[in-house]
A and B are shown apart, each in its own frame.
Chain A
Amino acid sequence: MDNLAIPPAAMRRSSLSGQEGGPTCRPIAGGGRFSLRLPPASRQPAALALGLDLEANINRAAVSGGRAALRLGPDEWLLLLPEAEAPAAALAGALPGGLYALTEISHRQTAIVLEGGAAADRLNAGCPLDLDLAAFPVGMATRTLFFKAEIVLWRQSETCFHLEVWRSFAPYVWELLGVIGREYAS
């Protein structure tokens, strides 16, 4: 049986399905996500197999094409991949000793993009980190909090942030971003 075929897109409903958003805040549907855990010795073979840089510092994203590896901890990467990509076989081939863990979490979370000159200020309504460009440069990605929700925050440009939010927390984050967005719109 082909367990890799993707079911029809119409069947997939994220917890933000139906939300359209606007130019400064919008949900991103779909996508593939994996949690990758590697001891140091497995890093190089895994990087070769995935075609992604896994040597970047902690809390930095490595991007290649439409794929990204966000290093969230010393041995933890969040892989953001096109929905059709299944990295399991490549990794299994590269790491025959099995010293790694790959777990699919495509549906565990969903993404929101926040853009515009006030993006950092809006995030700082509920995110306790210093989002000044010097303290949180482009390419930084880390797990943190937005009010009472855990998020992964990735700065893609000076004024554009990508948020990864657990499925059931996404409506809460979305609503708050809406309330705060109206504050900065007026």
Chain B
Amino acid sequence: MLLIPCPYCGPRPEIEFAYGGEAHVVRAADPRQVDDAGWTEFLYFRNNPRGDHAERWRHAFGCGRFFNVKRNTYTDQIEASYRIGETRP
């Protein structure tokens, strides 16, 4: 069970969190400007790297905030966590 550093509450056990998939997948401000291929890419295609991965978590049973985590999917070690809107470290 991971110990996830919530940027608001500090390190908390994984069971307090909900996984939110890959981070930095941006929904276009005006989806009408995106073509079908682009929208399909946005809807269905995600990276699944072995190694560093930026992913979203929500501290669902805590402060309720979404935030981003940089986790190594192979070692499970977490390098950083940062708030939504902050740049990836």
Q: Contact residues of A with B, CB < 8 Å?
A: 58-59, 72-74, 76, 128-129, 142-145, 150
Q: Which residues of B contact A59 (CB under 8 A)?
A: 9, 63
Report yes or no: B63 in contact with A72, Cβ–Cβ below 8 A: yes
Q: Contact residues of B with A, CB < 8 Å?
A: 8-9, 12-13, 15-16, 61-65
Report yes or no: A58 in contact with B13, Cβ–Cβ below 8 A: no
Say how far A139's CB is from chain B's closest CB, in angstroms: 15
- Grouping DSSP codes into helix (H, G, I), strand (E, B) and loop, the A interface class, with mixed when no group exceeds half, is strand
Report yes or no: B16 in contact with A58, Cβ–Cβ below 8 A: no
Contact residue among A58, A74, A76, A150 (Cβ-Cβ distance under 8 Å from B61): A150
Report yes or no: A128 in contact with B62, Cβ–Cβ below 8 A: no
Q: Give bound CA distance, A144 to B12, whole Å.
A: 9
Per CB-CB distance, the 5 closest pairs between chain A and chain B, nearest first, are: A73-B63, A128-B13, A145-B61, A73-B64, A150-B61
Say how far A3's CB is from chain B's closest CB, in angstroms: 30
A59 nearest CB neighbor, chain B only:
B9
Report yes or no: B63 in contact with A129, Cβ–Cβ below 8 A: no
Report yes or no: A143 in contact with B62, Cβ–Cβ below 8 A: yes
Contact residue among A72, A74, A76, A145 (Cβ-Cβ distance under 8 Å from B16): A145
Report yes or no: B65 in contact with A73, Cβ–Cβ below 8 A: yes
Report yes or no: B12 in contact with A129, Cβ–Cβ below 8 A: yes
A135 nearest CB neighbor, chain B only:
B10
